[in-house]
């Protein structure tokens, strides 16, 4: 029996991938970055945009971005500020900076030919390199995103709390086939997104439930295990609404750090003087920021300033935090002008 186990295991794993791929062929999601002839640039762009961002939020950005810059050479030739403006509202702006830096490298040196080569690019980690290698290059690579982690944790009842990177990677490697690895990766993602969901998983619709240990135990939502959440630190600052005629002061933030390279209202750590117009709160990955929005004077300005027309502030490519602050300031101004 001991000698027969490797053969039985191999048959089981082959059956698992075959069942999943049959399901994927019939039920895969229709997404704009999926193609029978995938392009590495388009796949890479989608994977960068989808990091910590939902499919629904990415759709319009992806189409618009690819229309403006359809290949790596077109992207590499544009100014940083133009790309950052196009990325505004999508969040996690270091992604855009790294994406542009990597595009310029590839425009000069060519595309990497394997997963290891992709790992050398700025902003490309284990997951993204594997996804591009499998989906765009047709190579066997082990692709593990959030959806895959959940599916694998339930399949094998992984007791280690997330991230459990090495354990889940090893288990995903064990079920990844040599052929159609890209389709298999996308099938696992689709399964997690549409069937093996965080809450109320649709186990009766799952093509691989027979091999799922959590389903057999009757407790799929107990997995993946999670460590207790840490409280987010609270930070405060002041955003200044400063006008000159019909223009509003915007400053370009430093290239590195929070909202790096983006235009925004001038910000200071202390409140200082000035009429308080309102307050906005925004949750970032590692902390929660509360901004007092105050009317200021040009004395508070430091560095290069762009005086942006009030009427076209929505075209400035402001990140969500500053769009919220601008909305509050303009509403308050409108109230004052109307005598409200």
Q: In terms of residues, how long is the chain? A: 340
Judged on CB neighbours under 10 Å (0-12, 13-18, 19+), 125 is: exposed
Establish whether 47 is a catalytic residue: yes
User: Which of the 8 DSSP states describes residue 77?
Assistant: T
Cβ 313 vs Cβ 255: under 8 Å? no
User: Which of the 8 DSSP states describes residue 6?
Assistant: H
User: Which of the 8 DSSP states describes residue 224?
Assistant: S
Identified catalytic residue from 47, 234, 243, 332: 47
Element spanning 289, H or E: strand 288-295
- Six token digits for residue 307: 């005086």
User: Cβ–Cβ contacts within 10 Å for residue 226, how many?
Assistant: 10
Cβ 327 vs Cβ 273: under 8 Å? no
3-class state of residue 257 by DSSP: coil
Q: Which residues on adjacent β-strands are paired with residue 268?
A: 238
**Cis bond before residue 224 (omega within 30° of 0):** yes
- Six token digits for residue 76: 């590499």
The Cα 107–Cα 4 span in angstroms is 52
**Cis bond before residue 163 (omega within 30° of 0):** yes
Cβ 212 vs Cβ 220: under 8 Å? yes
Nearest to 289 by CA among 329, 326, 258, 328: 258
3-class state of residue 213 by DSSP: helix
Tell me which residues are annotated as active site: 47
């Amino acid at each position: 029996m001991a000698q027969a186990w490797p053969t039985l295991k191999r048959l089981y794993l082959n059956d698992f991938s075959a069942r999943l791929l049959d399901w994927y062929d019939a039920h895969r999601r229709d997404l704009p970055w999926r193609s029978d002839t995938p392009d590495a640039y388009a796949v890479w762009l989608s994977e960068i945009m989808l990091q910590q961002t939902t499919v629904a939020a990415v759709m319009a950005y992806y189409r618009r971005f690819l229309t403006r810059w359809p290949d790596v050479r077109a992207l590499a030739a544009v100014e940083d500020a133009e790309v950052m403006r196009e990325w505004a509202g999508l969040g996690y702006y270091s992604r855009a900076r790294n994406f542009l830096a990597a595009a310029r490298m590839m425009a000069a040196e060519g595309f990497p030919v394997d997963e290891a080569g992709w790992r050398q690019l700025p902003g490309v980690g284990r997951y993204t390199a594997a996804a591009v290698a499998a989906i765009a290059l047709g190579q066997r690579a082990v692709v593990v995103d959030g959806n895959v982690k959940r599916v694998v944790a339930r399949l094998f009842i992984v007791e280690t709390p997330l991230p459990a990177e090495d354990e889940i990677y090893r288990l995903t490697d064990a079920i990844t086939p040599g052929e159609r690895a890209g389709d298999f990766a996308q099938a696992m993602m689709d399964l997690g997104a549409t069937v093996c969901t965080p809450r109320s998983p649709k186990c009766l619709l799952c093509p691989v439930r027979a091999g799922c240990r959590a389903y057999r135990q009757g407790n799929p939502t107990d997995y993946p295990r999670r460590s207790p959440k840490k409280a987010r630190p609270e930070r405060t600052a002041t955003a200044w609404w400063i006008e000159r005629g019909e223009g509003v002061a915007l400053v370009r933030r430093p290239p590195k750090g929070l909202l790096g390279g983006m235009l925004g209202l001038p910000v200071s750590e202390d409140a200082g003087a000035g009429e308080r117009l309102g307050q906005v709160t925004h949750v970032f990955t590692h902390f929660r920021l509360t901004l007092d929005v105050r009317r200021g004077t040009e004395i508070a300005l430091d560095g290069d300033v762009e005086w942006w027309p009030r009427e076209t502030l929505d075209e400035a490519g402001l990140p969500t935090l500053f769009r919220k602050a601008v909305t509050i300031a303009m509403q308050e101004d409108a109230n004052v002008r109307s005598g409200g």
